[in-house]
Amino acid sequence: MNMIELKQVSRRYGAVQALAPLDFSVKQGEFVTLLGPSGSGKTTLLNVIAGMVNPSSGQIFVRGVDITKAPPSARGLGMVFQNYALMPHMTVFDNIAFPLRVRKMPKDEIARKVKDVLDMVRLPDIAQRKPKELSGGQQQRVSLARCIVYNPALILLDEPLGALDKKLREQMQLEIRRLHAELGITMLNVTHDQDEALSMSDRIVLMNEGRVEQIATPDELYRSPRTAFAASFIGTANLISGTVEHHAGERALVSTSLGMLRAAATACTASRGESVTLLVRPESVRMGPASDSPTGDGADGLRHAGTLEDSIMLGSVVRHHVRLTGGMQMVVQQQDSRRRPAPERGAPVLLDWAPEDCQMILQD
Ligand SMILES: Nc1ncnc2c1ncn2[C@@H]1O[C@H](COP(=O)(O)OP(=O)(O)OP(=O)(O)O)[C@@H](O)[C@H]1O
Ligand SMILES: [Mg+2]
């Protein structure tokens, strides 16, 4: 069953089309992330669902009921904001109790619920403090607690972790995932952080300029991006533009500045003469010293000569920047290995990749 369903929902601000008419749904119990660059319409979409912004067109359904015209309070949704939005003059206890008091719950039941929910976000001892006596991460947990305390069926999160440092953010990501799994609450999260989207989501809605670019699982989005925009927004992408020379079934031959390249064409239907983009992920590129004899094992038989400009150590992997002879820069990622040291900076190198790791996708 769909928890949320949007049909042709759009929003215009004067001349700005903040959201083009879009359709999508979130299933019950799912964790879906709205991901996209600044200004792509993520907050607008979340606010339209929450009832804080009226859509210019379209309909919104929650559990099959049309709530397009319902006020925010009647939608039964919880919302966690980026800036915590805790009430500064109230204690943590009162902040969390607030939505329950509004609902006229008996006092002892409120006390029990607040205690439970503070245990759940692992802050059992801070009920009597004020928000300003807490760290950013603790305030974030309190806003989450205030949201889950009244058991909403759906929680909307607008960049809730944006203000936290990397370590705390990763910890909170795990925490939110744990609560999601334990409580079975449907969650719709907004972020512009691709790592957060990849690690937390069942599905990602990738947005670009008010449109939905692609809706897919993290794995699909990384492995089979539909467009060059999607390929470069998720992970690092080597993009090579070219023209289709031949396309049959799931294989294509594409004419590029690097020569005629073989490519996998599973998701792209472009035919002869059309402009396309080829995607090769950094971890799929093999790099060897220029003295290596060509291997040709499953490759195009083409090896691309270049110069190693830079190598960056990223823990267990090393990222190399290679300038090819024609001027194009490619990113190569390899496991760090003491047994197979990388060539020196400035050394001539040869790159190649397997045709199945070179994907033909739509040009933007
Ligand atoms: N109240 C408003 N009045 C006019 N234009 C607005 C308003 N709210 C948003 N916009 C415009 O709508 C577009 C989408 O804005 P939105 O806040 O949804 O983006 P976002 O994806 O959340 O970006 P960010 O990552 O920066 O938060 C932007 O061009 C923005 O300037
Ligand atoms: Mg926003």
Q: What is the pLDDT of residues 253-292, one digit of tens each?
A: 999 999 999 999 987 888 899 999 999 999 999 998 887 6
Q: Token pair of 70, please? A: 């319902």
DSSP state of 356: G
- Per DSSP, the residues of 31-98 read EEEEE--TTSSHHHHHHHHHTSS--SEEEEEETTEE-TTS-GGGS-EEEE-TT----TTS-HHHHHHH
Percent of residues, the chain, with pLDDT higher than 70? 96
Measured from the Cβ of residue 219, the count of other Cβ atoms closer than 10 Å reads 9
DSSP string, 135-191: -HHHHHHHHHHHHHTT--SEEEEESTTTTS-HHHHHHHHHHHHHHHHHH--EEEEEE
The predicted model gives 117-136 an average pLDDT of: 90
pLDDT at 188 over 90: yes
Of 33, 44, 188, the one to substitute when testing ligand 1's pocket (max ligand atoms within 8 A of C-beta) is 44
| Ion ligand 2, residue ranges at CB < 5 A | 43
**Contact (CB, 8 A) for 203 and 186:** no
Burial of 358 (0-12, 13-18, 19+ CB in 10 A): buried
Atom number of ligand 1 nearest to Cα 14: 4
Is the predicted pLDDT of residue 27 greater than 50, yes or no?
yes
Q: List pLDDT tens digits, range 204-250.
A: 999 999 999 999 999 999 989 999 999 999 989 999 999 999 999 89
Distance from the alpha carbon of residue 210 to the mean position of ligand 1, in angstroms: 9
Which residue minimizes the CA distance to atom 29 of ligand 1? Answer: 39
Residue 225 near ligand 1, beta carbon < 6 Å = no
pLDDT-derived band at 298, boundaries 50, 70, 90: very low
Task: Evaluate: CB of 162 within 6 angstroms of ligand 1.
Answer: no
- 26 ligand 1 Cβ < 6 A: no
User: Each residue of 141-172: pLDDT tens digit?
Assistant: 898 889 889 888 899 999 888 777 788 788 88
pLDDT digits (tens, 9 = 90+) for 89-113: 999 999 999 989 988 999 999 999 9
Find the 116 Cα to ligand 2 centroid distance in Å. Answer: 31
Position 115 pLDDT exceeds 80: yes
Average pLDDT estimate for 291-301: 56
- Is the C-beta atom of 247 inside 6 A of ligand 1? no
Residue 293 CB–ligand 1 contact under 6 Å? no
CA of 27 to the centre of ligand 1 (A): 26
- From ligand 2's centre to the CA of 188, what distance in Å? 13
Ligand 2: centre distance to CA 141 (Å): 20
d(CA 264, CA 220) in angstroms, rounded, equals: 15
The full set of domain ranges for the chain reads 2-223, 229-362
Q: What distance in angstroms lies between residue 51's CA and the mean position of ligand 1's atoms?
A: 16
Distance 44 CA to ligand 2 centre (A): 7
CB 56 within 8 A of CB 98: no
Identify the residue with better confidence: 175 or 258.
258
Ligand nearest to the CA of 36: 1
Mean pLDDT of the chain: 90
Q: What's the pLDDT at 315?
A: 85
113 lines ligand 1 (CB under 6 A): no
Other beta carbons less than 10 A from residue 327's beta carbon: 8
CATH assignment of 229-362, among 3.20.20.20, 3.40.50.1820, 3.30.9.10, 2.40.50.140 = 2.40.50.140
Check if 2-223 and 229-362 are the same fold: no
The class (CATH top level) of 2-223 is alpha beta
**Nearest to 59, CA basis, from 9, 19, 96, 110:** 9
Of 67, 71, 78, whose CA–CA distance to 152 is shortest? 78
Confidence at 361, pLDDT banded by 50, 70, 90? very high
